[in-house]
Amino acid sequence: MSGELTSTHGTVVWDGLGTLRIRYDGTQGGLHPLAAAVRARLDERVVPVEALRSVEVTETGLRLVLRDGADPLQSVTRLIDVYDFPGAERDLADNIARDVAQVLVRRDVPATAASAWLVAPPAAPDQFEGHDATLVVANGRLTFTYRRFASRKKKAHGDLWPVPLGEIVDVEWMPEQSRFGARGFLRIATAATPDLRPKPGHDPAAMVSRRHTDVDALFFATRLLTRIRP
């Protein structure tokens, strides 16, 4: 049974066969400003049932629970929940949740981590300019170009520091912390990365973000993650 569920944070369309389409066109009421900005920029997302672990009907609406490793955006950050849809009609939420659960059983979808990305990353350019570095993805490499704001430790790596995408094992993103005056950052890890890392401003493998560019940095990080884990 198909259905279209409208919530205060967007619309979920279930085709009754195996695909959910999410349109983040709600009022964004009650959301943290960063979460609202992320949802507004996501536009529409397509979630196949194979990406789901379950669908929950909450006291306020509907919530999709994805398998680990299914969505690169969720893998980069769990600080922002883009799969909670409060303010939805309870009966419709019940019907969609029940129907999706039946499809999950019929298709024998495991609750274990997905072996490949099942949700596309948000669109992002191959270049991102931060506060102390510019990152460029090209020719199978991520290249750091340190700007004049970069610390001496970063500049000691050279004017250009190329890292083969095959050597990157993880991508980390953190938004700015306004209360503490800390900027956001994006950084990578390789097999040679030490367990104890310097602060992002002194870490050659990190880019400190410019103010108010958290969403752009997040989308760049998400797209980068799909480059290193196809």
* 127 phi and psi angles, rounded to 5 deg: -135, 140
pTM above 0.85, yes or no: yes
- Please report which residue ranges of the chain form alpha helices under DSSP H: 33-42, 72-76, 90-106, 152-155, 214-228
pLDDT band at 203 (very low <50, low <70, confident <90, very high): very high
Pair of tokens at residue 60? 């306020």
pLDDT band at 28 (very low <50, low <70, confident <90, very high): low
Over the stretch 29-64, which tens digit does the pLDDT of each residue have? 678 889 989 998 998 999 999 999 999 999 889 999
For residues 100-128, give the mean pLDDT: 97
pLDDT for 178: 65
Pair of tokens at residue 195? 């367990």
In angstroms, the CA 120 to CA 136 distance is: 20
How far from each other are the two terminal CA atoms of the chain, in whole angstroms?
33
Residue 188 has pLDDT above 90, yes or no: yes
Dihedral (Cα; 157, 159, 162, 168), 10-degree rounding: 50
pLDDT band at 180 (very low <50, low <70, confident <90, very high): low
Residue 181 has pLDDT above 70, yes or no: no
C-alpha dist (Å) from residue 39 to 15, 31, 83, 120, 194: 22, 10, 10, 15, 34
